[in-house]
Structure 1
Amino acid sequence: MTVHGKMEIDLEIRAPADKFHEVFSCRPHHISNMSTDKIHGVDLHDGDWGKAGSVISWSYTHDGETKVAKEVIEAIDDEKNSTTFRVIEGDLMKLYKNFVVIVQATPKEGGGSVIHWTLEYEKLSEEVTEPYSLLQFCVHVSKDIDLHLMEQAQAQA
């Protein structure tokens, strides 16, 4: 078993890639209104919303437990609709030495998008399990955001 790992998953959504990307890059604090049972709040600790180098804190429920994660936004690539977060404090740091989350939205021909999640991590020990349930958590949050964005688009139509 290795202590370094990388997990990836793709899912298709109906919302446009740029709209989905904007949520994570510029408005992560709105996710608690889109995925209320999973994300309870996102607070800005340092910097500005939508700016690389900013520090944000997430309060969320994962595997039936309320947890927190403080992250620095390492990179925002509006051309590739990609946002990279590095976890610097919180519950994940009890199990991992390093943990990076990358979310990228790619437009699909004919409409909608493909969301690509990447988790890169270094476990504190070989006994730590792979973060499969966290990857599924990301998928479920993505689906909640997609539903919200599509309902918002219909309301504006």
Structure 2
Amino acid sequence: MQSSLVGKLETNIEIKAAASKFHEIFKHPHRISNISPNFVQSCELLQGQWGTEGSVIFWKYFLDGKHSVSKELMEVVDDKNKSLTFKVIEGDLLKHYKNFKFILKTTPKGSDQQGNVVQWTLEYEKPHNGIVDPHSMIQVLIKVSKDIDIHLINTP
């Protein structure tokens, strides 16, 4: 039996910071390298404007102990639902996957006192079954999200 080459991984992370503030950090991600330097080295805008659909962002980050790069198209910006979609258009992930998307959605858990939930979804297609699912990328996203949460709750 052959496993599917199209995959999807999801994780939910509870945060204390406001959903709108967390959403804004990834809409304008140039500060993430200062907030989570153990995982993100830099993030720069190559085309368009921060926080707008069609903009192109270049990331330098660590994955599995290696320096990695990714050029991503900000495909969807949904402020109402606090959702963003980044499509990888160049970089190290495309050495292993035919296509790769990051989908981020931040939702209130209930009242403000109950916190919020960050949901990361990775959608990808592998060229063959010998490629592992990107569990290590999910682990990085969890750690970066927790770093951002700590930063936001400690910043007035």
Q: Same fold (TM over 0.5)?
A: yes
The amino acid of 1:142's aligned partner reads S
Over aligned residue pairs, what C-alpha RMSD do you find? 0.7
Runs (4 or more) in structure 1 with deviation over 3 Å come to none
Gapped regions of structure 1 (runs ≥ 5): none
Is residue 32 of structure 2 the alignment partner of residue 31 of structure 1?
A: yes
Aligned mates of 1:107, 1:72 — CA distance in 2: 26
Q: 2:141 aligns with which of 132, 138, 142?
A: 138
Gapped regions of structure 2 (runs ≥ 5): none
Q: 1:12 aligns with which of 11, 14, 38?
A: 14
Is residue 49 of structure 2 the alignment partner of residue 48 of structure 1?
A: yes
Match of 2:98 in 1: 97
Give the secondary structure class of the aligned counterpart of 1:96.
coil
Aligned length: 152
Aligned mates of 1:90, 1:124 — CA distance in 2: 16
Aligned mates of 1:122, 1:17 — CA distance in 2: 30
Q: TM-score, normalised by structure 2?
A: 0.95
The amino acid of 2:123's aligned partner reads E
Displacement of 1:141 after TM fit? Answer: 0.5
Q: TM-score, normalised by structure 1?
A: 0.95
Give the secondary structure class of the aligned counterpart of 1:66.
strand
Displacement of 1:122 after TM fit? Answer: 0.4
